[in-house]
Structure 1
Amino acid sequence: MRIDDLPGELLMWVLIGSEVAVFAAGITVMQAVRLTDPAGFAAAQGLLDGRMAALNTAILVTSGLFAARAERDGGRGWLWLAALGGVAFLTVKGMEYAGDAARGITMEAHPFFTFYYLLTGFHAAHVIAGVVVLLLVSIRPRRESVQAAAMFWHMVDLVWVLLLPPVYLLG
């Protein structure tokens, strides 16, 4: 495959690649630190509510489907549904953070939680940016702008799928 064969603009692919690289670096460092205290990391990770992560995964994957439909079919309704999925994700994540805080789980509680809050918080910032982009594009949806918004939103989905195992599943 040649660069000219990729859908969308090259600059969007550079943005997506750099964002994925930043998250991959964070995950790599987290895994390296995990090697210094595997039992502590497993115990800390065991305090997280996996049901919230599963719900958020379902929300984001469904929202990604709506973004793909917007790209394929056009129309602001699909963009709004994708953005609504982002808002739902942030609501669930906020509830999860509130529950963690109520149980005394802070960034300082264990190095695992430092990574947990930094990585998931940085991802949440990308979700916020994605929701804004989806809503702005919905004002005057054009094929190129819808495609760019959907590409960004799929990157947000991909990053969540990359975060899920080391943050919630590997113990």
Structure 2
Amino acid sequence: MTETRQAPSTSPARPEAHLPGDGAMWVMVLGDLIIFGAYFVIYMVHRAMAPEAFLTAQQHLSLTAGMLNTVVLLTSSWFVARGVLAARAGDHTRALRLTYAGGLCGAVFIGIKVYEWSAKITEGYSLGSGEFFGFYYMLTGVHLFHVALGLLILGIVARELRTRRRMSMVESGATYWHMVDLLWIVIFALLYVMR
């Protein structure tokens, strides 16, 4: 009986698929998603109990500001994702520029949100202006805290790209930033769009 031998493969080794970032970051992200998921369910229950009051209050939000913030965060996530790809390719200068661009978009998001809040408060819609506005300020406020934390994390990513260049740190920062973006899309849909 003749033994068949296979010729050694000449194709380049393919990188192994892996979960990007650090496991601890994924635990944090999943925990945040569960907590926000509970907030969203509570909001939906309260909205179902008083749909007319929520709809009337919702009419006072600026759909334009909400859409602008959505575009800003989606653009930011695109920059951060491209930055990760550049870092993986070894182009750390480009990765750093893209990370800065993503962070700048995050700062613009905060500016738009602060402007929107001040406009609502000036119009007389504060935290105590009914259930809808209580949810509005709570959900957008907690999210705004996450954006600010995300900017700090992107700062750590930028430092990492300038010094040690550990991909797990870069990917972990991007993972967190994409979670912030995902949460905003759900908040935008619930508070601004859903009728």
Shorter-chain TM-score tier: over 0.9
Q: CA deviation at 1:5?
A: 4.2
The total of aligned residue pairs comes to 168
Q: Distance in 1 between matches of 2:68 and 2:150?
A: 19
Separation of aligned partners in 2, 1:137 and 1:8: 12
Overall identity of the aligned pairs, in %: 32
Gaps of 5+ in 2: 1-16, 88-94
What is the aligned partner in structure 2 of residue 54 from structure 1? 67
Q: Please give the per-residue CA displacement for 1:73-104, whole angstroms capped at 9, x wherever unaligned.
A: 02211111111010000000011001101100
1:68 maps onto 2:81 in alignment: yes
- Match 2:181 to one of 139, 143, 157: 157
Moved more, 138-147 or 30-39: 138-147
Match of 1:110 among 121, 124, 130: 130
Q: C-alpha separation between the residues in 1 aligned to 2:27 and 2:150?
A: 17
Counterpart of 1:35 in 2: which secondary structure? Answer: helix
| Structure with higher helix content | 1
Q: Distance in 1 between matches of 2:97 and 2:169?
A: 15
Answering whether residue 33 of structure 2 is matched by residue 9 of structure 1, we say: no
Moved over 4 A (4+): none
Task: Give the partner amino acid of 1:91.
Answer: G
TM-score scaled by length of structure 1: 0.95
Distance 1:23 1:140 in 2: 29
Q: Which residue of 1 aligns with 2:12?
A: none
1:31 and 1:108 map into 2 onto residues whose CA distance is: 19
**2: distance between equivalents of 1:163 and 1:104?**
22
Q: TM-score, normalised by structure 2?
A: 0.83
How far did residue 12 of structure 1 move? Answer: 1.4
